[in-house]
Amino acid sequence: IEQTAYQNDKLAMLGKISAAIAHEIRNPLTAIRGFIQLLRPHLIQLGRDEYARIILTEIDRANDIIYEFLNSSKPTAPQKTVMSITSLLKEVVLLTESEALMKGCEIHLKEADTVMNVSIDVKQIKQVLLNMIKNAMDAIEEVEGDHAGVIDIHVKPEGRYVNVTIRDNGNGMDKALLARLFDPFFTTKEKGTGLGLSVSYRIIKNHRGHIHVDSVKGAGTVFVIALPLVI
Positions that interact with ligand ADP (CB under 6 A): 131, 135-136, 139, 168, 170-173, 177, 181, 186-189, 192-198, 221
| H/E run at residue 220 | strand 220-228
Q: In the bound complex, what is the minimum distance in angstroms from residue 184's beta carbon to ligand ADP?
A: 8
* Closest to ligand ADP by CB, 6 or 82: 6
Residue 147 CB, nearest approach to ligand ADP (Å) = 13
Q: What is the dihedral of CA 107, 109, 205, 120, to 10 degrees?
A: 120
For the CB of residue 92, give the shortest distance to ligand ADP in the complex, in Å: 15
What CA–CA distance (Å, rounded) separates 161 from 212?
Answer: 13
Of 96 and 221, the one with the shorter C-beta distance to ligand ADP is: 221
> What is the C-alpha to C-alpha distance for residues 48 and 133, in angstroms, rounded to an integer?
35
- For ligand ADP, which is the closer residue by CB, 123 or 189? 189
Rounded CA separation 216/180 (Å): 15
Helix (H) or strand (E) holding 108: strand 105-110
Minimum separation from the CB atom of position 175 to ligand ADP (A): 13
Return the number of the residue (23 or 212) whose C-beta is nearest ligand ADP.
212
The least CB distance from residue 187 to ligand ADP, in Å, is: 3
Q: Which is nearer to ligand ADP, 63 or 117 (CB)?
A: 63
Q: Which is nearer to ligand ADP, 121 or 168 (CB)?
A: 168
Amino acid letter for position 155:
V
**Chain centre to alpha carbon of residue 56:** 22
Q: How far is CA 55 from the centre of its chain?
A: 24
Smaller CB separation from ligand ADP, 86 or 135: 135
What does the DSSP assignment read for 172-189? ---HHHHHHTTSTT---S
Residue, CB closest to ligand ADP: 196
Q: How far apart are CA 132 and CA 213, in angstroms?
A: 11
Euclidean distance between CA atoms 157 and 34, whole angstroms: 49
| Nearest distance in Å: CB 173, ligand ADP | 5
Minimum gap (Å) between residue 128 Cβ and ligand ADP: 10
